[in-house]
């Protein structure tokens, strides 16, 4: 097998873990490339599996580095939560026979293209998690218009708006009151941020549609893609989000499921910690 070792060198133990994996994998295949500084263009690299060290941010960066030639990703958690990167380095070494024997499942996940149009030109950013339009200093309320296809759907007044994929639904969107989506769905969720109304609620709609966000009022407005790329916006910009022609591929080894991760990482669906009565009634 041909391997990539990617990740975030600033995470504790990232360099040491990469060296350990490189030594172990060398006996079973070829490590085509190692990049812990997230600076190399991976769009032309041929590989069978990418091992990404760090947290979910490292995986988001790796997905964008790979561009339109996505390699299946196995996340190794060196961060705090690790929702996508849910294995330890020891787990990977233990399940190496399964990986080499292709005894794993690869899930396919929606990615998006965020197209930013302005008088200065057009820029397209590939993403996996979410697109956020948010107020900046002095943090006054924004007015944003959302169009789906050719229809003006809604106008949002508040701190901003999140347009998220199912993978991103457990991140910023969830914190803003959005729903948890099945990760392999082909939909987007639009979640207002602190909307100044009682009627605006998150909306889930098809990824087959095109979503356009325009600024109608706002002194300082920022576009954030996957929590990593930041761009200033004005009323002269138009932000269009559409599904990308490629999918993010996440490797899942036996025994690790999406609902198990929800329970373990986010404590979703668990029962309250009831007090045990030491003196139950007769």
Q: Which residues are catalytic?
A: 56
Asked if 134 contacts 210 with a C-beta cutoff of 8 angstroms, the reply is: no
Asked if 73 contacts 248 with a C-beta cutoff of 8 angstroms, the reply is: yes
Strand 49-54 to strand 105-118: parallel, antiparallel, or no bridges (unpaired)? unpaired
Asked if 216 contacts 145 with a C-beta cutoff of 8 angstroms, the reply is: yes
Residues 154 and 161: their CA atoms lie apart, in Å, by: 12
**Is the preceding peptide bond at 78 cis, omega within 30 degrees of 0?**
no
Residues with Cβ < 8 Å from 121, sequence gap 6 or more?
A: none
Whole-number Cα distances in Å, 21 to 29, 33, 83, 255: 12, 12, 21, 22
Residues 240 and 223: their CA atoms lie apart, in Å, by: 12
Asked if 45 contacts 212 with a C-beta cutoff of 8 angstroms, the reply is: no
Residues with Cβ < 8 Å from 234, sequence gap 6 or more?
A: 118, 215, 221
Nearest 5°: phi and psi at 25?
Answer: -70, -25
Of the candidates 202, 238, 208, 242, which has an alpha carbon nearest to the alpha carbon of residue 221? 238
Asked if 43 contacts 66 with a C-beta cutoff of 8 angstroms, the reply is: yes
Of the candidates 196, 133, 207, which has an alpha carbon nearest to the alpha carbon of residue 165? 207
């Amino acid at each position: 097998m041909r391997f990539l070792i990617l990740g975030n060198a600033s995470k504790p133990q990232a360099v040491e873990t990469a060296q350990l994996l490189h030594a172990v994998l060398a006996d079973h295949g070829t490590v085509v490339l190692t990049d812990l500084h997230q600076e190399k263009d991976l769009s032309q690299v041929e590989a069978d599996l990418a091992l990404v060290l760090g947290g979910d941010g490292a995986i988001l960066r790796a997905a964008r580095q790979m561009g339109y030639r996505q390699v299946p990703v196995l996340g190794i958690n060196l961060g705090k939560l690790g929702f996508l990167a849910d294995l330890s380095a020891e787990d990977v070494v233990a399940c190496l026979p399964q990986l080499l024997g292709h005894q794993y499942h690869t899930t396919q996940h929606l990615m998006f293209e965020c197209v930013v149009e302005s008088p200065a030109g057009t820029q397209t950013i590939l993403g996996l998690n979410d697109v956020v339009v948010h107020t900046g200093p002095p943090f006054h309320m924004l007015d944003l218009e959302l169009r789906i296809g050719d229809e003006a759907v809604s106008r949002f007044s508040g701190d901003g708006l999140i347009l998220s994929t199912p993978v991103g639904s457990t991140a910023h969107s969830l914190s803003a009151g959005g729903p948890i989506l099945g990760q392999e769905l082909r939909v987007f969720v639009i979640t207002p941020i602190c909307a100044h109304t009682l009627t605006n609620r998150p909306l889930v709609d098809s990824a087959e549609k095109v979503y356009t966000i325009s600024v109608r009022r706002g002194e300082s407005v920022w576009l954030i893609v996957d929590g990593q790329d930041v761009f200033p916006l004005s009323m002269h910009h138009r932000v269009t989000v559409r599904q990308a022609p490629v999918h993010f591929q996440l490797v899942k080894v036996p025994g690790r499921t999406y609902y198990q991760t929800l329970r373990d990482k986010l404590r979703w669906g668990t029962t309250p910690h009831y007090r045990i009565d030491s003196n139950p009634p007769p």
